[in-house]
Amino acid sequence: MIDTPSSLPRRHLLTRSATALAAAGLATWSHGAMAQAAAAKPLPTDLAWKDLNSVIVHSGNTIETKRGAFGTSVITPADQLYIRNNLPTPDASIVADRDAWVLTLDGVKNPRSLTVGDLKTMGLETVAMVLQCSGNGRGFFPSKPSGTGWTVGAAGCVVWSGVPVREVVQALGGVSPGMNYMTSTGGEKLPAGLDPKSIIVERSVPAAAMQDALLAWEMNGAPIPLAHGGPLRLIVPGFTGVNSIKYVKQLAFTAKESDARIMAHGYRLTPPGQKADPSQPSVQEMSVKSWVNSPSPDDGAHREGWMQINGVAFGGMHAVKGVEVSIDGGKTWQQARLVGPDLGKYAWRQFVLPAHFARGNYVVTSRATDRAGNVQPETRGENVSGYNNASWQDHAVKVSVA
């Protein structure tokens, strides 16, 4: 038997002893793990490379990272990173010759098409960025909005390499006058018989976002997996996930926002009781947010003793300044310590607060502040589709210590 300190949460005991027994050739499951395995959906075949133990499979095109699976070393490994597809993933043949993928640029002085091979000669930059679905935290809305009930795992911190959009634009003579938006289009094959505008993945962000945007071909040190947008993905740091277009085939500077449904009606902050329309704010810039990953609701029972409460915090458009942690549901707060590498303002920071837990019940949560002085809110902003939930109350973890 492996020597395990009794203060470790039960999940560590389970993981270690299960591994040890599996190594000895003995099949063993706790009742909890067995129930979970029975309930878990299998990974779709094209995503069989994801780590099934670290993810929740909601459907073939929506996969979430388990809260207890986020590690403490900043970067989210590709095999644990969430997946969100609005359309079927393109055929794997598009990554057979990655450098041959063609991107069309428009709304610049000299519009033209460039291959990934061409783009690689034009510039190189690397950015660490929180990729987060605007629906992350939807599962905490009591109104039960339709869509995937993500809790915290439709997010990750990812390192991208590619060419800055501004350098490509400069090489093509600059943005044409009067173009206020950067509009990008996904390269999915559209099902026949449907109005393309009703299904195409096409998003507009303010043209100024090009300053920090990348046309990326690499993710966490490897060519971007097809599922995450390879061979070429637009990366818009600080903006919600939907604006980072996978398998991007067109990037155009436009006078108006795209009239595709996903832009005009989808992803709007629609007040309760109303219908989505283009006059409502779109989900674009992210705001300050944090949550505790350990202790996590995925843990089993906890024993009395010390815990290193840890989690992630990010500012969206601004760097994180600090994080406070509460173990009494927000009545009192203590300053946590930021730990690990600081990978820039678009990345998340890890935070830790050591705390001693006597027997009893606790509500553990975190509240981040960004460098612009914005404080993570206590409550969510209600909206029909359950977007942009940054509420520290909603993200609290109930912990019972026996």
Ligand X SMILES: Nc1nc2c(c(=O)[nH]1)N[C@H]1C(S)=C(S)[C@@H](COP(=O)(O)O)O[C@H]1N2
Chain residues in the site for ligand X (CB under 6 A): 81-87, 131, 133, 186, 188, 201, 228-229, 241-242, 244-247
Nearer to Mo ion, 209 or 353 (CB): 209
| Helices (H), ranges, 259-340 | 261-264
Question: Which of 365, 363, 366, 367 lies closest to 398, judged by CA?
Answer: 363
**116-155 binders of Mo ion (CB under 5 A):** 133
Q: Measured at CB, which residue is nearest to ligand X?
A: 186
**Residue 149, token pair as written in the block:** 């009930």
With CB under 5 to 8 Å by kind, the binding choice for 386 among ligand X, Mo ion, none is: none
State residue 117 phi and psi, 5-degree precision.
-55, -45
Residues touching Mo ion, count (CB under 5 A): 4
| Burial 313-336, CB ≥16 within 10 A → b, else e | bbbbbbbbbbbbbbbeeeeebeeb
With CB under 5 to 8 Å by kind, the binding choice for 245 among ligand X, Mo ion, none is: ligand X
Nearer to ligand X, 246 or 395 (CB): 246
Nearer to ligand X, 64 or 299 (CB): 64
Pairing of strands 202-206, 155-164: unpaired
- Chain centroid to Cα 33, Å, comes to 26
| Helices (H), ranges, 135-251 | 165-171, 196-199
Nearer to Mo ion, 244 or 326 (CB): 244
Nearer to Mo ion, 133 or 179 (CB): 133
Residue in 11, 50, 67, 84 binding Mo ion, rule: CB under 5 A:
84
With CB under 5 to 8 Å by kind, the binding choice for 89 among Mo ion, ligand X, none is: none
CB of 106 to ligand X, least distance (A): 17
With CB under 5 to 8 Å by kind, the binding choice for 247 among ligand X, Mo ion, none is: ligand X
Nearer to ligand X, 201 or 307 (CB): 201
Sequence-separated (6 or more) residues with CB below 8 Å from residue 215: 103, 119, 162, 163, 165, 168, 232, 233, 234, 235, 248, 251
CB of 85 to ligand X, least distance (A): 4
